[in-house]
Each structure stands twice: as structure tokens, then as C-alpha cells.
Structure 1
Amino acid sequence: MEGHYISLSINVLALFLLTLYVPQAAGQRQPLYSALYVFGDSTIDPGNNNFLATVVKSDFPPYGRDFPNGRPTGRFTNGRLVTDQLSELIGLPDLLPASLDPEFRGQKLLTGASFGSSASGYADSTSIPLDVLPLEKQVENFRLYKARLAKQFGHETANKTVSQALFAISGGTDDFANNYFLNHITRKKYTVEQFQDLMLKSLTVFIENVYNEGATTIAIVGLPPFGCLPSQITLHNIVENTCFEEFNEVASSFNSKIKALLEKIKPHFPGAVIAYLDIYDKILDIIKSPSKYGFEEARKGCCGTGLLETAILCNPSSISCAEPSKYVFWDSFHPTTECYQIIANNLFQQALVVFNSPTRRN
């Protein structure tokens, strides 16, 4: 009974806070955070790879089909990313800019950016072969951004903006799906557990680096059930044609390790709140019960056959579905913007509880 009341209290708190912070007309409320800074992979990259010499790009149709004017921006989906929608939910602009975009300047500097890079991961061996930004380079770019912010608006404003911002990192899928389980050299060098530990070391260094730059609110987004991605089913479980549970177990075990790591290291970062945000359960539920969320298709993406296409394989010659809103996935690897909206809402509610708890306020 006591557990029931605790659960009820948490839900009531989340609902109360949600009523305070749901988006309203511009200017009617203060943002929950001064800025949003995100790091990671294609799920949060709004176009940084457009400015890199890499084949991992999506700055061409049909990507961006449901973006304003049908414009491809480098986002690996048909519209806005989860981070765009999360930015709007916390009261900031509804498009989170790419840090490498030449248009990222002026007043835009004050409300945050994405430093993420599609196909990047926690391990350097995931990022470097594809000429995308490894995590260390993403943090270096943040430092350069912070210097720009200070130069234009002053050190006091820069430090205040950073200290009151929400930092988030979302990655890991590429480390496993496009590196470990496709690279015999990596598998020969590490067991799954050893590779997970290598990724955790990278995560720890990331937390140390952004904390030293002034971050006080840091969200670590866990791995999704990547064994349910259409591409992974096609490549690894086509006979049964269902989620590849071995991969899901790897994701689940890594998420458990993240949570254990955060509990261990939190005392080393006084004044900061570092929290785990789960996406595994919500995404798995969407995939297992798509009709509950208004979707009709969860096995394949909207672009092309939807079974393997992503990046250049999803191109102007590809035939895409008539109604992406009925699909969980846009291509074989990335959700539709409609699915991202559900994920963003869920992450937002988790963040409200975690970062506005009595522990957070103290």
C-alpha cells in the first residue's frame, strides 16, 4: 500500500509540473532552462554532418518531407527531431540548431544547440572510420561555442546560461549496431561486457568535461531496444521477422550499467544533478502495441521498402509512404517525427520529476 501512495504521489507531481510547463503562446512563461545542449548521434543531430566530409548525411529528399516547405535539413526523419520537440516543451525555440551551421549565431547562441553527429557513438572506433564527430570533438566544439558566447554577450552571461541549461546525451545504438556487431576486429578485441565498460568510461569522461565547463543539470538518455529497428530485424532475425532479443538484452544490460554508474559517481560532482532518462520501455511499447499510439506500421520504415534503407539508400529516387504519421519509423533506423513527439513528451515528464524533486531543489 505504501508503494502505491509513493507511485501516486510521483504521478501527481509530474502532472502538476506538466500543467505549469506545457507550451503556451510565446512570451507567456519563462523557459524551464536557459538553454538546451545535446550531444550524441543521429537521433539528435539536426544537420552537423552536413558540414563534414562524411557519407553519413540526410540533407536531401525525402528527408525533411514534413519539415516547413519540405526542406531537408540533415535531420534523419521526416520532420522535427525529438530534441526539437523537447526544446519546445521546456519553453525554448522549437528548432534546436546545429552547432556547425553558419546560421547559428547572434541571439540563437543564447538558447542552446545540438553538438551531436549522426553515426557517432561513445567509442571512438564507432565515429572515426566514418569521419563523423567523436564525443570528445563534440565537447571541444561546445568549448568553442562557449567562448563565442562569452565574446558576444560577456563571461557573466555565458557562465549563467551554461549553469542554468539542460545538458543531454543520447547515444550508444551505433556503437553496437554499426560497430560491435558488424566489426569482427572490435568483437575479437572485446567481449560485449568489456565493450560496454569502454563506453561507460567514455560517458564518465563526458560528464567530467561538461561539469568542468559549468553544467549542473545533466540527463543521460539510455539505449532504445535497437533489436527492434527494422534494419536490425532484416539483418539479424529475418526468418522469425521479430525483434532480435539478443540486441535488446544488450541494450537493457547497458542501461542498467548506466544507472549503476551514475549512482557511483554522483558524489564526485557536487552541486550537479545527473539523471538517467529511459527511452527503452516507451519505444518498446510503441513497437509492440503501435495501434495504442495511433500507428499502423512498426516493422518497416516509410522510406523505400523500409527494411534496410537509411542515409543515401533513402534518397530522392525512393518511393515513400503516403502517410508517415501511421508509421513508427521513417527509415529503417530512425523514428518518424510523430513517434519522436511521443518520446519527447515521455522524456519531458521524466525530467520534470527527476530534476524538480525535493532532492533537486536542495
Structure 2
Amino acid sequence: MSSVSGALQSLLEKGAKYLVVQGHPPTGCLTLTMYLAPEDDRDDLGCVKSANDLSNNHNLMLQARLQEFRKQYPHAVIVYADYFNAYRTVMKNPSKYGFKDLFSVCCGSGEPPYNFTVFETCGTPNATVCTSPSQYINWGWCSSYRSYV
């Protein structure tokens, strides 16, 4: 939180007038998190509860800090992008948004239940890619970038 606050304060002090600050998505819904967490750590969506609780707490603190910045810099427009609740909305009704698979990755190892293993990620020789990527919320863990795409 201090890193984000410091960066935002620096931008505002340098005269930034418009900021859009995104909150964390529910990181407990990411396939890597699902793969690593115990099965008994799940929330109402089937995601990792402990990770989602951390993301939600971060977002609450971030929103409080943004409110402080709004008071401190009244001429700036500071918008909060609520990725957490947007993602939850999609997860609660995936077919409405064209998704069929909530937790598996489109590009991965073929290992159930998530088409994912840590050592056979997207971009490795044994990884396969699904035929309908637009139906997957999670694409995969990209080995060349070491990030989720």
C-alpha cells in the first residue's frame, strides 16, 4: 500500500489532474492460486478465500487512501476501477459474458483439474492451447514472462 500511495502522491504533486486507480481483482480466482491452495480454503465462488480476503482488504485500504487524496487534492479527479467486483460479477454468471470455464487455463499442461502444472506452463514444449480461448477467463501462466495473461 505504501508503494502505491507513494506513486500516486508523486503524480499528484507533479500536477496530475486525472487518475484511474485499479483495485486488485479476486486473486483467489486465478488458476495458480487455486492450484497452490488447499481445497478447504474456498469462498462462495469456489475461489481461494484467504487470497480473496487479502485482495478485498487491500482494496478497502486503497479506497480509503484515495478518499484522503481526493480531500488533499480537490482539483484532481481520482477514479477507482473496481476490478474485484467486476470479476465477481462475471464469475457469478459466466455464461452471460460468454465464458464456459472459470478456473482452468486455456494454455497449459493438460493436468486436471485446471489444465495446469507449475513446470509445464504456457510457452513450454508440452503445453497445449484450447480451441476456444474466448470461453476461458484464465489464459495461462506464461513461462517466458512469468506472469498471468
TM-score for both structures, normalised by structure 1 = 0.34
Computing the radius of gyration from Cα coordinates, the structure with the larger value is: 1
Distance between the aligned counterparts of 2:10 and 2:96, measured in 1? 41
Residues 19, 78 of structure 2: 8 Å contact kept: yes
Spell out the pairing of 1:123-138 with structure 2 (5 A cutoff).
Answer: none
Matched, 1:257 2:61: yes
Kindly indicate which of the two structures has a greater share of residues assigned to strand. Answer: 2
Matched, 1:331 2:140: yes
Partner of 1:314: 122
Distance between the aligned counterparts of 1:262 and 1:300, measured in 2? 34
Kindly indicate which of the two structures has a greater share of residues assigned to helix. Answer: 1
- For structure 1, list consecutive stretches of 5 or more residues without a partner in the other structure: 1-198, 336-362
Structure 1 residue 270: Cα displacement: 3.9
Matched, 1:284 2:88: yes
Distance between the aligned counterparts of 1:240 and 1:256, measured in 2? 21
Q: Render the CA deviation track for 1:128-174: whole Å, top value 9, x for unaligned.
A: xxxxxxxxxxxxxxxxxxxxxxxxxxxxxxxxxxxxxxxxxxxxxxx
For 2:16, give the aligned amino acid.
A
Partner of 2:50: 246
For 1:321, give the aligned amino acid.
C
For 2:100, give the aligned amino acid.
E
Distance between the aligned counterparts of 1:307 and 1:285, measured in 2? 24
For 2:3, give the aligned amino acid.
S
In the superposition, relative to structure 1, how do residues 287 and 237 fare at CA in structure 2: closer, same or farther (>3 Å)? farther
Structure 1 residue 322: Cα displacement: 0.8
Structure 1 residue 277: Cα displacement: 1.3
TM-score for both structures, normalised by structure 2 = 0.78
Structure 1 residue 239: Cα displacement: 6.1
Root-mean-square deviation over aligned CA pairs:
2.4
Match of 2:107, SS state, is coil
- What is the number of residues matched between the two proteins? 135
- For structure 2, list consecutive stretches of 5 or more residues without a partner in the other structure: 142-146
Spell out the pairing of 1:97-246 with structure 2 (5 A cutoff).
Answer: 199=1, 201-238=2-39, 242-246=46-50
In the superposition, relative to structure 1, how do residues 288 and 230 fare at CA in structure 2: closer, same or farther (>3 Å)? farther
Q: Render the CA deviation track for 1:287-325: whole Å, top value 9, x for unaligned.
A: 233212111111111011333459x83115221101101
Matched, 1:266 2:70: yes
- Runs of 4+ aligned residues of structure 1 deviating over 6 Å after TM superposition are none
In the superposition, relative to structure 1, how do residues 239 and 204 fare at CA in structure 2: closer, same or farther (>3 Å)? closer
